[in-house]
Amino acid sequence: MSTPPVTPPIVMTLAGSDPTGGAGLQADLLTLASLGCHPLSVVTAVTIQDSSGVTDFLVMDAEWVVDQARALLEDMKVSAFKVGMIGSVENVAAIAEVVSDYPEIPLIVDPVLASGGGHAFADEDLIAAFREMILPQTTIVTPNSIEARRLAANDPDEEDGLELALAAERMTQLGCEYVLVTGTHENTRVVTNTLYDSQGQVRADSWERLPGSYHGSGCTLASAIAGMIASGSSVAEAVREAQDYTYQTLKHAFRPGMGQFIPDRLFWARKENDDD
C-alpha cells in the first residue's frame, strides 16, 4: 500500500477580508500557504478598500463568527490560531469563547486597531474587552509601537510617552505569554523588533529600514509566526524566522495600484534560476 499523504500543519485565521490581497485574511492565507501550512479562514469583517486605504467596513455578526470557527474545529485538527481584525466587542467575546475551549492550541494575535491609512477599526470599549478577554489567553501578541502603547496605557494621556518595555510588561501581567513589539513606526534609522516575556526582554532584532510604504507587513509577520509555531518551532525561533521571511517579502514587494506596496509572500517562487 502506498503511504498516505501527510497533512500539513493547519492554522485557523480569524480576521477581516481585504480585497486587495495586501492585508487581512488574504495576507494570512498567502503567508501560511507559502510556509507550507494549510490555512482555514473565519471572516470577522468585510472591507471596502484599495491599495490607498479603507473606505468602509462591515463587521460580521458574532454568531456567524462562532459558527464558522466551530464548524471547522469539529472537523479538522488545528495547530494554531491567528487573530487579526476583530471588529466589535461582540466578536471579541465570541472569539475569546471559542479559543478558551482549546487552551492547548497556541494563539497568535495581531491587534489590528487601525488600517495602515489610519481608518479606525477599534474604539476604547473594544480595546478594554480585548485586554480582558483575549490577552490572558494569548501565546504571543505582535503590536507595533503605537498599538503597544494604546493597549497598555491605563490612561489615554500616557499613551505617547509610555516606554515600550513597560507596555510589554503590562501586557504580560494581563496573562499574555510573549509580546513582540515592532519598531516600524518609531523614528529610528533601523527597525528594531523586540520580544518580551514576563521576565523582560528575550531578544531584539534590527533590520534595515526599507523605503516606501507597505500594506500588510504586520499581518504577514503574525501569520508567519503562527505558521512556524504550528510547524513545531518554539516562540523565540518562530519570531526570528518569521521576521526574516517578512523582511524578504518586503524587499520583493510590488506596487500593483496607486497606493502602498504589497509584500510578495511568494517571492521565492519568482527568483531567477541562478538564485536557486
- Residues 33-56 have pLDDT tens digits of 999 999 999 999 999 999 998 999
Q: Does the structural domain 10-269 have CATH classification 3.40.1190.20? A: yes
The amino acid sitting at 15 is A
3-state secondary structure of 208: strand
Amino acid residing at 93: A
The predicted structure's pLDDT at residue 181: 97
Interval 195-215: pLDDT, tens: 999 999 999 999 999 998 999
At which residue does the C-alpha cell 509601537 appear?
Answer: 145
- The lowest-confidence range among 6-15, 74-83, 221-230, 264-273 is 264-273
| pLDDT in the model for residue 123 | 85
**What cell was used for 121?**
477599526
pTM: 0.94
Q: Which of 238, 9, 265, 202 is nearest to 108 (CA)?
A: 238
